[in-house]
Copies of this chain bind each other. A is one copy, B any other.
Amino acid sequence: MWNLSLRERVLIYLAERGAITNSLKITTPIISKQFGTSQQSASRLLIILEREGLIERRVVGRTSYVKMTQKGVSRLLDLYLALKMIFEKPVKIVLEGRVFSGYGEGSYYMSLPGYVQQMIEKLGFIPYPGTLNVLLLSKDSIENKLFLQKNADIEVSGFKDERRTYGSVKAIKVLINESEPAVMVFPERTLYDSSVAELVAPENLRNKLGLSDGSLVRISATLSPKMFYEGFKPSMSLTFSPS
């Protein structure tokens, strides 16, 4: 499945079947079928795992009774704890770019009551009528913007007035230059492509942070591990299929 080395895959296979605390009955045909190897390779693999002290084996005819040793369990546990430190801590996503003057449509939309009223409710502040536009500098930043977009958890619905319809907007809370709270917005319809970040805040960010066209800004968001997982939905089943 994951192209993990065969050794770890077999250890995980055994652990999932209870070989941490009890001897598991196993035959080389089972192993070779499960892992798509020859029976010879399967047999050799068990011998290697035994020789390395990762499993204990009792061989009775063509059947082996296999139990993981403390060393074998510790290896998987070490691996688990290292991965846990990677995947269970909040993930900081950083984007960098330069301020530029947009088409002014931000100030138009940010003054429409149909948006403003919802933003007050959902963001907890009255948005300054205008967006700060940031041209992202690198492929990493653009990818991170798309990642934040997938994870944007605030939804402002579209609406209709006598003249036209207005699209929905997704949004996510960010910090600018590590200190200034703002919201990155992802309008369903926008004149900009994915290399532009559009920011909304209670105040005029240009004035407050002393920014002008060309100023470098750093936008960051901290995602919970759970949000982060969902951005990387595992594509395959999590366990081996039962044999």
Contact surface of A with B, Cβ cutoff 8 Å: 1-5, 7-8, 12, 15-16, 20-23, 52, 67, 70, 73-87, 91-94, 138, 140, 144, 147, 229, 232-236, 238-239
Contacts and interface: CB of A to CB of B under 8 A. Distances in A.
A23 to B, nearest CB: 5
Contacts of A239: 82, 85
A98 B185 CA distance: 69
A2 B92 contact: no
B234 A94 contact: no
Nearest to A5: B5
A78 B20 contact: no
B5 A78 contact: no
Contacts of A81: 234, 238
Contact of A74 (B5, B140, B234): B234
A85 to B, nearest CB: 7
A171 to B, nearest CB: 20
Contact of A8 (B8, B15, B234): B8
Chain A to chain B: the 10 pairs with minimum beta-carbon distance, closest first: A5-B5, A80-B83, A78-B234, A15-B86, A81-B238, A73-B232, A2-B75, A80-B87, A23-B140, A2-B78
Q: Which of A16, A77, A91, A138 has the most CB of B within 10 A?
A: A77
B85 A76 contact: no
Contacts of A86: 12, 15-16, 20, 76, 80
Given A67-B140, A92-B21, A94-B22, A77 B8 contact: no
A232 B92 contact: no
